[in-house]
Structure 1
Amino acid sequence: MADSVRLALSKAISDPRPPKPSFNNIDERIRYLHWLGEMSVRLKRRIPDYQSRIELLETIWYESKRAGLDPALVMGLMQVESAFRKYATSVVGARGYMQVMPFWSRVIGDGDAKKLFQMQTNLRYGCSILRMYIDMEKGDLYLALGRYNGSRGKPEYPNAVLANWKNWEYVPPR
């Protein structure tokens, strides 16, 4: 990995700001609150505890927007990767909601891979890494998702994420 990429990713994940959204106008805030309510209903079956669900959704919104990603894409990826389980661990060692590999904590973080089970840390890493891959692939989500999962060139994973992305899309009320 180029030093410039490593530095940019390291800077992206070290931003200490908490996941609190800000809005330019009241219409944006209302749209966000509608999104939050709708996604809470959709996610209730998977995460029954209201407070945990709202904290996760707030963090998804913040970190996805911060990385220039659609929250529905991030949720589709999370559904495929971990089924929204905070402590999910893959057979190859990927961790948390977005299944971030521990080597990333050494490459761009402080080396503490246990932090990948912390919600905000996991989403910050995952969204930053996905954004990097999208940029590397010049916007080609199919190839970027393959890189993210380590299955580049195989259709199953990108197709699953793209299909689940549609399940989390939000259409605002009229």
Structure 2
Amino acid sequence: MQAQERDRSRQARHRIAERSVGGWEDVVRRSYDSRIVASLLTNSLFRALYIPQTHPPPAPPSSRLPSLPEGKRPAPAPQIDPETLSRIAPFDPHIVQHSRDSGVDPNLTRAMIYVESGGDPRAVSPKGARGLMQLMPDTADQLGVRNAFDPAQNIRGGARYLRTLLDQFHNVELALWGYNAGPGAVERRSLPAETRRYIPEVLRVKAALDRLDPAQVKAARRVEKK
């Protein structure tokens, strides 16, 4: 009986994953040749990794809101933090220029900056990644970035690197995987927990930016200038 219940639960998770927008199975089928697809999708470790990725885990009990009467429920949290948006806004000319030069959607670049550094050009990760788009020193050198803390150089290098990954993997999700974990991780089908969180968060922020009223972006710039 327990085995049957586990099977039904597993089948239900698979159905949810297959219906999810941007589900990893669909990503892989669109991105690899048939031999790699067969190897990847039959890999139990990969399937165990990508299925939870398709929908966020439930919130811990302590963070769940109590039931409130209709009309008194708190407003939902904004999808984009306005303070972070205001920190990114001054770099918008560089974002637009270098994204277009590299053939990358500017909102994808903005979303990556939002998630990578929160708009802090002096940000340094525990692993040593630097600047707005968190370039590792070796990667920065290869991209001709002499000063990763310079916003223009960092964004130019990050956009070029993203373009390289898009050309290599022909898919946004896989390019983000490679950007966060390294292209070798994609080739090895190694999907760290950090990357499982990173990819959907970048895509979530990009989707929110795509829906954002341009007036809100201008307002963020005005706030930053004050």
TM-score, structure 2 length as denominator?
0.50
2:155 paired with 1:123: yes
Summarize the Cα distance change of 1:44–1:59 in structure 2 as closer, same or farther, 3 Å threshold: farther
Deviations 1:100-144 (A, max 9, x none): 11112332427x4xx000011000000000010011002x11111
1:46 to 78, 81, 84: 84
Deviation at 1:166, TM superposition (A): 1.1
Q: Confirm or deny that 1:95 pairs with 2:95.
A: no
Task: Return the letter of the residue paired with 1:118.
Answer: D
Q: Deviations over 1:18-73 (max 9, x none)?
A: xxxxxxxxxxxxxxxxxxxxxxxx88633758xx844x111111111111111111
> Offset of 1:169 from its aligned partner?
1.3
SS at match of 2:92: helix
**Equivalent residue for 2:180, pick from 128, 146, 149:** 149
- Structure having the larger proportion of residues in helix: 2
Contact 2:143 2:160 in 1 (8 A): no
Kept after mapping to 2: 8 A contact 1:64/1:70: yes
Q: Check conservation: 1:76, 1:167, Cα contact below 8 A.
A: no
- Aligned partner of 1:72 in structure 2 is 107
Say if 2:191 is the partner of 1:160: no
Return the offset for 1:99: 0.5
Following TM superposition, by how much is the alpha carbon of 1:83 offset from its aligned partner in structure 2, in angstroms?
A: 0.6
Amino acid at match of 2:151: M
Asked if 1 retains the 8 angstrom alpha-carbon contact of 2:84 and 2:114, the reply is no
CA distance in 2, matches of 1:98, 1:162: 15
Structure 1 segments, 4+ long, off by >4 Å, are: 170-173
Structure 1 residues 98-107 or 60-69, which shifts more?
Answer: 98-107
Equivalent pair of 1:43/1:53 in contact (CA under 8 Å) = no
Aligned residue-pair number: 125
Mapped partners of 2:122, 2:115: distance in 1: 14
TM-score (norm 1): 0.63
In percent, how many aligned pairs have the same letter?
Answer: 29
User: Contact 2:143/2:161 (CA < 8 Å) preserved in 1?
Assistant: no
